[in-house]
Amino acid sequence: MKAERKISQSFLKEFTKYLQNESCGYQVVAKYYDNMQFPSSEAQLLGQYFEYAATGQLPKFGNLPEPKMVSGGKKMSIPFARAFESAQFCKEIFKEYGIEIIETGLKLEGERTTGEIDVYAEWNGEKVFIDLKYSAAIDDKWSEFGWETESLAQKDNLMIQGVHYKMLAKECLDIENIPFYYFIFSAKNTDYAKIIHQEVDEGRFVEHEIVVDNVYNKLKQVPITYFKPKPSLKMCSCCPIESCNARTKLPLIEKVYY
C-alpha cells in the first residue's frame, strides 16, 4: 500500500514534526490514513465546545461537545462557562459586523490539497474565510501557539493555515485571494478577542506550493511502512493504538553531548 494522500494543512504540520522526530509514524498513519480518533486534551475540548456553541459546528468525528458539569451536574465548570460566554461574544461580533454565515465546516478538495474551513461567510459584500480560535495564549509573544500580533509573521506553524486555505479557495471556488481572518477569543477573559486579517505575499504561495508538491510526490513513491514508530513516554501515554508493539511505559534514555 502506497502512502499517497491529499495534503491538508494539519497533515503537513504533522508530517514535518515526524521528519523532525517530534511525532510518531504510527500515530501519523492512525490519524491520517486510518482516521482514528485520538483523545482530546482539555484545551481541545474547550475549543470544540466553544466552536459548537458559537456556530453549531460539530467536531471532525461528529461527537456532540458536552460541557463539564459541577455541583452535581447543576452548572458548568468555570472553564466551560467561560467558553460559553465567549461563544455568545462571537455571535455578537458576527451580528454587529454584519457577517452572514454561508456554511460551517466547509470541506474543499483540490487536485493535491484538502482542507476544512471553520466558517465560510459573506462580509461587506464579499466571500470570506474565518478561522475560529479559542486560546489562552492570545497575547503570548514567545509561545509557538501565541497570537501576539507583531510576532505572527515568524510563526509558520500558525500562518500556514491562511496560505493553504486561500490556495484551496482559488482552486475549488475560483475565488482569487479570498480574504482570510482569524477570530481569536481569550480563554481567560470572555470580553476579549482579536480579529486578524492575514495578507499573504505572492512568494509565500509559491513556497507553499513547492512544499505541498514535494510532500505529495514523496508520498506517492513510498509505502505506508515508510512511517516508523518513534516512541516516547509522553506520546505513548495518551496514544489509543492499543496493538502497538513499540509502545513504552517507561522513560527512554536520552543521550546529550556537552
Of 41, 204, 178, residue with least CA distance to 119: 178
Domain boundaries, the chain: 9-237
Count of C-beta atoms within a 10 Å radius of residue 121: 23
- The b-or-e profile of 236-247 (16+ CB within 10 A means b, else e) is beebebeebeeb
Cα separation, 64 vs 208, in Å, equals: 34
Q: Which of 90, 100, 103 lies closest to 125, judged by CA?
A: 100
State how far the Cα of 129 lies from the Cα of 121, in Å rounded to an integer: 6
200-212 as b/e: b if 16+ CB within 10 A: eeeebbeebeebb
CATH for 9-237 is 3.90.320.10
Task: Report CA torsion sign: 105, 106, 109, 112.
Answer: negative
Predicted pLDDT at 125: 96
Rounded CA separation 151/134 (Å): 18
Residues of the chain with pLDDT under 70: none
In this structure, are residues 152 and 159 in contact, taking their beta carbons and an 8 Å threshold? yes
Q: What is the reported pLDDT for 257? A: 97
**In sequence order, which ranges of 142-256 are alpha helices (DSSP H)?**
156-172, 202-221, 233-237
pLDDT tens track for 1-40:
889 999 999 999 999 999 999 999 999 999 999 999 999 9
Question: Residue 87: left (phi > 0), alpha (psi -120 to 50), or beta?
Answer: alpha
Residue spans of alpha helices (H) in 76-201 = 78-97, 156-172
d(CA 83, CA 192): 12
Give strand ranges (E) for the chain: 69-70, 75-76, 100-109, 114-123, 126-135, 180-186, 193-198
Give me the pLDDT at residue 164, please: 98
- Phi and psi at 175, nearest 5°, equal -110, 115
Q: Are 37 and 61 in contact (CB under 8 A)?
A: yes
Q: pTM for this structure?
A: 0.94
- pLDDT tens-place string over residues 179-197: 999 999 999 999 999 999 9
By residue count, the chain amounts to 258
Question: In whole angstroms, what is the distance from residue 52 CA to residue 65 CA?
Answer: 7
Return the pLDDT at 144. 92
